[in-house]
């Protein structure tokens, strides 16, 4: 069975600073990988996804993520954070069972 | 394109009462998911439907939770009787996937359940 670890519960950055949110997965092969964002009181919105091919994936709102097989990681990055990026971010993995598994989430706090 | 619709948005009930949530997925989406999201945690899959058949319900507490997807379109999730630990946001999501798992899921806004 697959699993996802998001080691950081909270991340605080200043507006305009760069951001990296960590995601590690456990699965015997290459899974499908996703990053979702959840604003307060809202459902989850897909930021980006990786299925195969280029390991650097571009998403919406200026986000990107890099799949590193050797590290079993799929970290989310953004070069310059905006105050509106404050939200909860979830990494998700889909393995051979085709059942999506989510991490516990990382709460992003943006200081002005 | 209309998104995933869920109702109600909020529900407060006493323990041992019953409650039902409704979800209307995006038109044409074959796969429908119900997730439970407890405060401070990621969503946990309760049940996954493919059209009107159950793909996975291994994490559904079947002694108190039930779900159905009549005609392969909208779905209801029921809890009877509710416990305090059922307090959570219940998210419905749908996907056009035919089971390959490589397509995104579109989420509704969720129903926030508080059991007192």
Instruction: Please determine, for residue B41, whether its predicted confidence score (pLDDT) is greater than 70.
Output: yes
**What pLDDT score was predicted for residue B72?**
84
Answer yes or no: do B109 and A102 touch at CB < 8 A: no
Instruction: Please determine, for residue B1, whether its predicted confidence score (pLDDT) is greater than 80.
Output: no
| Spatial contact of B103 and B96, defined as CB atoms under 8 Å apart | yes
**What pLDDT score was predicted for residue A41?**
79
Instruction: Please determine, for residue B28, whether its predicted confidence score (pLDDT) is greater than 60.
Output: yes
Q: DSSP string of B8-38?
A: -SEEEE-TT--EEEEEE--TT--EEEEEEE-
Using 50, 70 and 90 to split pLDDT, how confident is the model at B100?
A: low
**What pLDDT score was predicted for residue A100?**
83
Query: What percent of chain B is modeled with pLDDT above 90?
Result: 75
**What pLDDT score was predicted for residue B97?**
66
CA A9 to chain CA mean position, Å: 13
Q: Which of B102, B103, B111 to mutate to test the interface with A (most CBs of A within 10 A)?
A: B102
Instruction: Please determine, for residue B21, whether its predicted confidence score (pLDDT) is greater than 70.
Output: yes
Residues of chain B with C-beta less than 8 angstroms from the C-beta of A94: 101-102
Residues from B in contact with A at Cβ < 8 Å:
4, 33, 35, 40-45, 48, 55-56, 91, 93, 97, 99-102, 104-110
**What pLDDT score was predicted for residue B101?**
55
* Mean pLDDT to the nearest integer, B28-35: 92
- Does the bond joining B81 to the residue before it have cis omega, within 30 degrees of 0? yes
Distance from CA of A112 to the nearest CA of B (A): 24
Beta carbons within 10 angstroms of residue B99's beta carbon? 12
Answer yes or no: do B42 and A102 touch at CB < 8 A: yes
Residue among B42, B45, B99 whose CB faces A105 most closely: B42
Helix %, strand %, coil % for chain B, to 5? 5, 45, 45
Using 50, 70 and 90 to split pLDDT, how confident is the model at B33?
A: very high
CA A3 to chain CA mean position, Å: 14
Residue among A32, A46, A99 whose CB faces B45 most closely: A99
Residues of chain B with C-beta less than 8 angstroms from the C-beta of A49: 104
Answer yes or no: do B109 and A90 touch at CB < 8 A: no
> From the first residue on, what is the mean pLDDT of each consecutive set of 10 residues in chain A (112 residues)?
92 97 91 92 89 92 95 97 96 83 95 91
Chain B: residue whose CA lies nearest to A44: B107
Tokens of residue A23, six digits = 């995601």
| Spatial contact of A43 and B109, defined as CB atoms under 8 Å apart | yes
Spatial distance between the Cα atoms of A86 and A75, rounded to a whole number of angstroms: 17
- Contacts from B47-54 at CB under 8 Å and sequence distance 24+? B47/B77, B48/A99, B49/B75, B50/B98, B50/B99
Tokens of residue A32, six digits = 């499908």
Q: What are the φ and ψ backbone dihedral angles of B106, each rounded to 5 degrees?
A: -105, 125
Using 50, 70 and 90 to split pLDDT, how confident is the model at B99?
A: low
């Amino acid at each position: 069975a697959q699993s996802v670890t998001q080691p950081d519960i909270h991340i605080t950055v200043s507006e305009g600073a760069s951001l990296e949110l960590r995601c590690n997965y456990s699965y015997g092969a290459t899974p499908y990988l996703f990053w979702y964002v959840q604003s307060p009181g809202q459902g989850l919105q897909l930021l980006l996804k990786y299925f195969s091919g280029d390991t650097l994936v571009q998403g919406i709102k200026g986000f990107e993520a890099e799949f590193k097989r050797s590290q079993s990681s799929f970290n989310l990055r953004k070069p310059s954070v905006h105050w509106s990026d404050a939200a909860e971010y979830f990494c998700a993995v889909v393995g051979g069972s085709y059942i999506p598994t989510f991490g516990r989430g990382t709460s992003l706090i943006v200081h002005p | 394109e209309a998104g995933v619709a869920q109702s109600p948005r909020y529900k407060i009930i006493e323990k041992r009462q019953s409650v039902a949530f409704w979800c209307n997925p995006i038109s044409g989406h074959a796969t429908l998911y119900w997730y439970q999201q407890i405060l401070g945690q990621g969503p946990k899959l309760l049940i996954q439907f493919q059209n009107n058949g159950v793909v996975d319900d291994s994490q559904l507490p079947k002694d108190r939770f039930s779900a159905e997807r009549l005609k392969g379109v909208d779905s209801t999730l029921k809890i009877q009787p509710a416990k305090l630990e059922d307090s959570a946001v219940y998210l419905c999501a749908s996907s056009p996937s035919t089971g390959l798992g490589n397509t995104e899921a579109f989420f509704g806004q969720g129903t926030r359940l508080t059991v007192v």
